[in-house]
Structure 1
Amino acid sequence: MHIILSLFCIVFLINNISADCPNGTICQIDSTLFDLSSTQEQDIVSTNNPSTPAVVITTAQPGPSTTPGSTTSLSNSDGTPCNCNNSGLWLDLLLVIDRSAGVGVDGLTEIAGQLAAALNNVPIAQKAQNDFYTRVGLLVYSSDVQVIGDLTHYTNSDGLLNDLFSLTQYYKPSDRIADIGKALKTAQTIFQTQSLNITSRNVPKAVVLYASSYNKINDDPVTIASQMNNSNIFIITINYHDNSGVATDLLNQISTPYMNFSSDANDAVAEISQGLCYANCLCPFGSYQLKTLNTTSYQQTYYADCLQPIGAGTFPKFAEKVCEARNGTLVSLTSQAKTDFMFNVAVYGTDKTVSSSNSLHIGLHRNTQSQWAWYGYGQTEYPLGNFQPWAPGFNNNSAGDAVYIDKLGPGNWQWMTGSSSSNPFQYICQIRACDSAPTNCDRSGWLNNGQ
């Protein structure tokens, strides 16, 4: 522990505060966030009973008042938003739709309309420049499964829309069984034969599954979904008029955590589109994707920041060079939620690279105008925001041109200033995720389920 005494400074006693999410709700870190992107293994969690680990708390002093234009949206954000642009999606996507009596013939057209809206402007193709297009497959199921079109079938959106709005021909009014396990098993087989381990098609994989009810026959959907999630297949589920709640309870277990929605929700189309955006926002091998959970709405937000702990310590100016060589920067701690995530996942999670460290470099530095700023991606920067957990005796006027976060006690980490040419501490790099606006991103973690 570093104990720094600064003469001629007044030491303020500050009450602990926690960071608010947007719209005034409180963020906390959920156990499903403890995912190393080298495996992307996610516990199957019901949104009805989310678990919450201990959170590392820092003490944030009020930041200085700012003038209009002195900060950017990133200055006070939890993280860098994933780009959510349908026209830029590049996925292998399977649509899996319940056609049993529980849906009803009109229900199939409603589902078709909802999916058509969610997939509007998605570049559906079999070939395009690089990998930046989406292949779509379409399946319907009841007691059996029928593949209308696999991942090699649709060459444009018109063909898919024609089949979506013709789903009524596959309706089975006398079949009251919805075998979700068999449907997932078929989807898993299609991915295994047409998408996984194909080096020429290195893209994320996703499933959108609609269900009105559930009947367990032979294949256990929870086990199959776990295998798929552990193979980096992102599963979005939608319950359709599930009055009994049986399907909803199951869908909470098989979806990627917090990706189960209701077709009747006013924002269902937006939720499905956002889920596909998150499926298309992935981190490189050996990094942790920033995620936060709104505990009021139980909505999880994915960010395009991938945290990577570095055990070989160096001075902060050289640490930034190391991160830039990985197409990243030193980590920016712009909120309490992001700070909690960094410690719970990247520092004290399954990776122990920097878990014994008492000091870590972060990306806050004095720029050429002698103002405090965070390093941004692509040789950019943005100003310090309101979140400023300075240690006693330190503030934004303290001497120094670099900042590190120091352990003052168990679970108590706060900022201190230093020189960019001293203090060879360990550090956390922050790497930009690949998403629907790809440039030159690292996809090594996706290939052959390597995440």
Structure 2
Amino acid sequence: MKFNTVLTVFLIKIYVISSEYITRPCGQDLSNLWLDMVAVVDNSQGMTNDGLTAIAANIASVFSDGTKIGTNSNDPRTTRLGLVTYNSKATKNADLNKFQSIDDLYDNIFTDLATVSQTDDSNLENGLEVAEKVLEAGKNEKRKFYKKLILIYASTFNRNGEAISIANRLKSAGTKLVTVAYNQGGGDEQLADGLAQISSPRFNFTNNRALIGDIQMAMLEANCFCAPTWTQYRQYYSDQFSPPGGVCIQPVGLTAVWRAARISCANRFKNAYLADEFTQHKHDFIFDSIKNTNGFQLPYSYHIGLTLSNGSWSWDRPNGWEQPVVQHWFGWDSGFPISTSSKASGANFGNETDAGWQNIGAMNIGLNYVCETATCDTDNYCSTDQLD
């Protein structure tokens, strides 16, 4: 089923221009989620039996919107879920292959999270270390590019432990960490602030009524990524952790004429094309990207997907796809476009602060160029062969 909640304010401000002319957002189909995940649950005395049961229900609910649990050889878009509980020590309750359906999850999660331990000690670092081992043990060639996520439920947080350093190691390796501060009243008032040091940016949550949607949003975002050597479009170029969009950018620092650049982009990744600039924001993001790419030098000049088609300026798309007509925002330099059939392609020309569109010939000016493709996500599965 489609995830109906808008992912971020970024999507509202940047993407929603008209129903037809938008930059692609990340996929939002929970039934096609493909992740490897481990739930890490505090079962110390402070959590209480009722608290554990509530967490079991929350975990089951998160995956109840059509997400396929386990491994299905007929559909690679599945999510594996392991389970770890922790107190003074940690226990692996389920590896990544135990739950093979949503029914398996329901049949086991409430039993696994039924009774708290006999200790008040709650050492998250132990839970994280076991979760890391579960993810490592579950690796296989078919899923080597699947993104990893650890979902943490905690009733307290020990700032004197090693949890932060372990969390930083996991995040540096690409694993997303989602935290849920489950304060059942009268507990650690600084719990959420402490867990914010553990979580990935924007993924620290509390037990509020939006929690299921918050966790699902984090999973969908974790499942939205680019192939190596591509840069994911996002709210702020300068902040790699800012809310992401559903396209990837690849500046190419070797010159080619526009027609050759278009073919080069198409050959770089499935359904890739010369980049579009629907908005000032997208234009600025691409400009910041090329400034940080080897092979681009002042004065900047680079092909984008502008092309004159049937009398209208449109954006490049793969062969057979509809080409969006330029609308809403126009980045033409003063005096452009020049009205001539011999200049039916577009490029950016600029200085150290900005660049503007100019129309040029498709076969006679060699420039750098910028390619674009969709992110790998729930609407666009990327195989190992594509990502290798």
Q: Residue 192 in 1 paired to residue 192 in 2?
A: no
**1:427, CA displacement in angstroms?**
0.8
The AA in structure 2 aligned to 1:305 is V
Question: Cα distance 1:115–1:168, how it changes in 2: closer, same or farther (>3 A)?
Answer: closer
The AA in structure 2 aligned to 1:352 is N
Secondary structure of 1:200's aligned partner? helix
Secondary structure of 1:84's aligned partner? coil
User: Does the 8 Å contact 1:82/1:302 carry over to 2?
Assistant: yes
**For the residues of structure 2 that align with 1:156 and 1:398, how far apart are their CA atoms?**
61
Greater shift in the superposed pair: 392-401 or 306-315: 392-401
**For the residues of structure 2 that align with 1:74 and 1:170, how far apart are their CA atoms?**
52
User: Which whole-Å deviations, capped at 9, do the CAs of 1:172-215 have from their partners, x for residues lacking one?
Assistant: 3x5333322221111111112222xx323332222111222211
**1:300, CA displacement in angstroms?**
4.6
Question: Cα distance 1:389–1:102, how it changes in 2: closer, same or farther (>3 A)?
Answer: farther
**For the residues of structure 1 that align with 2:168 and 2:385, how far apart are their CA atoms?**
22
User: Does the 8 Å contact 1:261/1:268 carry over to 2?
Assistant: yes
User: Does the 8 Å contact 2:68/2:79 carry over to 1?
Assistant: yes
User: Does the 8 Å contact 1:390/1:415 carry over to 2?
Assistant: yes
**For the residues of structure 2 that align with 1:280 and 1:378, how far apart are their CA atoms?**
27
Q: What are the equivalent positions in structure 2 for 1:88-167 lying under 5 Å apart? A: 88-120=32-64, 121-129=66-74, 131-167=76-112
Work out the number of aligned pairs and report it.
368
Normalised to the residue count of structure 1, the TM-score between the two structures is 0.73
User: Which whole-Å deviations, capped at 9, do the CAs of 1:337-388 have from their partners, x for residues lacking one?
Assistant: 32333233x3234x43435561111112112x22122223564221213121
User: Which whole-Å deviations, capped at 9, do the CAs of 1:255-288 have from their partners, x for residues lacking one?
Assistant: 2222222221x43222211211122222111111
Residue number in structure 2 paired with 1:210: 153
Question: Cα distance 1:93–1:246, how it changes in 2: closer, same or farther (>3 A)?
Answer: same
Q: State percent identity of aligned pairs.
A: 24
**For the residues of structure 1 that align with 2:11 and 2:143, how far apart are their CA atoms?**
37
**For the residues of structure 2 that align with 1:217 and 1:446, how far apart are their CA atoms?**
40
Question: Cα distance 1:74–1:271, how it changes in 2: closer, same or farther (>3 A)?
Answer: farther
Q: Specify which of 225, 230, 249 is matched with residue 287 of structure 1.
A: 230
Residue number in structure 2 paired with 1:383: 325
**Once superposed, what is the RMSD of the aligned Cα atoms?**
2.9
Question: Cα distance 1:338–1:181, how it changes in 2: closer, same or farther (>3 A)?
Answer: farther
Residue number in structure 2 paired with 1:263: 207
Q: What are the equivalent positions in structure 2 for 1:224-373 lying under 5 Å apart? A: 224-241=166-183, 244-264=188-208, 266-292=209-235, 300-326=242-268, 327=270, 328-344=272-288, 346-349=289-292, 351-354=293-296, 356=298, 358-367=300-309, 369-373=310-314
User: Does the 8 Å contact 2:273/2:305 carry over to 1?
Assistant: yes
Question: Cα distance 1:356–1:207, how it changes in 2: closer, same or farther (>3 A)?
Answer: farther
**1:398, CA displacement in angstroms?**
8.1
Normalised to the residue count of structure 2, the TM-score between the two structures is 0.84
User: Does the 8 Å contact 1:205/1:232 carry over to 2?
Assistant: yes
Structure with the largest fraction of helix = 2
Question: Cα distance 1:388–1:159, how it changes in 2: closer, same or farther (>3 A)?
Answer: same
**For the residues of structure 2 that align with 1:262 and 1:397, how far apart are their CA atoms?**
58
Structure 2 unaligned spans of 5+ = 1-8
User: Does the 8 Å contact 1:85/1:436 carry over to 2?
Assistant: yes
Residue number in structure 2 paired with 1:433: 375
Question: Cα distance 1:117–1:418, how it changes in 2: closer, same or farther (>3 A)?
Answer: same
Residue number in structure 2 paired with 1:201: 143
User: Does the 8 Å contact 2:234/2:242 carry over to 1?
Assistant: yes
